[in-house]
């Protein structure tokens, strides 16, 4: 489902490229508020010899972007903490964790005079894990640093405001310890599908 949404967002962005150019101006700021659905990939690695599964979650998301040049912006993504249950072998409750995914991206907004305004971006994500708990003992997930890619589409509803649909992918791998012993690496690599209101200043 998430991969289909990603493909739809990318294809819609390409269709919206037609038309004369209208720039996002150097010096502009945008602030976005919305909701993000975080969906880890289906195979999350092996922990303590068992196949691991990390479940999905939906939380509020926030963005701030500053345009360093026309159409080119630096964006910071933040959110309230996502929470995930971890299952081993398809049925064993291995615990849960919370995380924050601050991500810094460089975005290119395609110039168009249409109400539809597509963009793409790439950046770096630092995932902070905390409040781990497990019925099996002391669970610990290391923080992760990795690449992030995104594509999005803004629909202009006023001169200053737009509704945004975007899809991001994160490279998130975390070394996991249980009672101080290494038990493997959680390969989370999630997609984030977000819907937001974005205001330009």
Residue ranges per structural domain of the chain: 2-200
| Spatial CA neighbour of 107 closest among 132, 72, 131, 79 | 72
Output the pLDDT for position 18.
40
Number of H helices, E strands in the chain: 1, 15
For domain 2-200, give the CATH number.
2.40.160.20
Contact 139, 95 (CB under 8 A): yes
Q: Read off the pLDDT of each residue in 66-91 and give the average, rounded to a whole number.
A: 96
Query: 9 pLDDT exceeds 60?
Result: no
Confidence at residue 21, expressed as pLDDT on a 0 to 100 scale = 40
Instruction: Calculate mean pLDDT across residues 49-77.
Output: 97
Q: Is the pLDDT of residue 10 over 60?
A: no
Nearest-angstrom CA–CA distance, 188 and 43: 8
b/e sequence 137-151, b meaning 16+ C-beta within 10 Å: eebbbeebeeebbbb
pLDDT beyond 50 at 17: no
pLDDT in tens, 88-147: 998 899 999 999 999 999 999 999 889 999 999 999 999 999 999 999 999 999 999 999
Q: Tell me, what's the pLDDT at 24?
A: 80
User: Which of the four pLDDT bands, split at 50, 70 and 90, describes residue 42?
Assistant: confident
Rounded to two decimals, what is the model's pTM?
Answer: 0.85
């Amino acid at each position: 489902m998430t991969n289909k949404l990603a493909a739809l967002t990318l294809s819609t962005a390409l269709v919206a490229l037609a038309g004369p150019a209208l720039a996002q101006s150097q010096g502009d700021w945008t602030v976005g508020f919305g909701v993000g659905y975080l969906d880890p990939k289906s195979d999350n690695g092996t922990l303590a010899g068992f196949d691991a599964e990390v479940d999905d979650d939906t939380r509020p998301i926030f963005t701030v972007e500053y345009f360093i040049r026309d159409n080119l912006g630096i964006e910071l993504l933040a959110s309230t903490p996502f929470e995930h249950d971890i299952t081993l072998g398809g049925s064993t409750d291995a615990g849960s964790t919370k995380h924050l995914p601050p991500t810094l991206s460089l975005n290119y907004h395609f110039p168009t005079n249409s109400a539809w305004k597509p963009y793409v971006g790439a950046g770096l994500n630092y995932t902070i894990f905390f409040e781990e708990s497990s019925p099996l003992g002391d669970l610990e997930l290391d923080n992760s640093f990795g690449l992030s890619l995104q594509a999005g589409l803004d629909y202009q509803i006023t001169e200053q405001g737009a509704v945004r649909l975007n899809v991001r992918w994160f490279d998130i791998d975390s070394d996991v310890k249980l009672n101080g012993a290494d038990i493997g690496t959680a390969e989370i690599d999630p997609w984030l599908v977000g819907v937001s209101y974005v205001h330009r200043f």
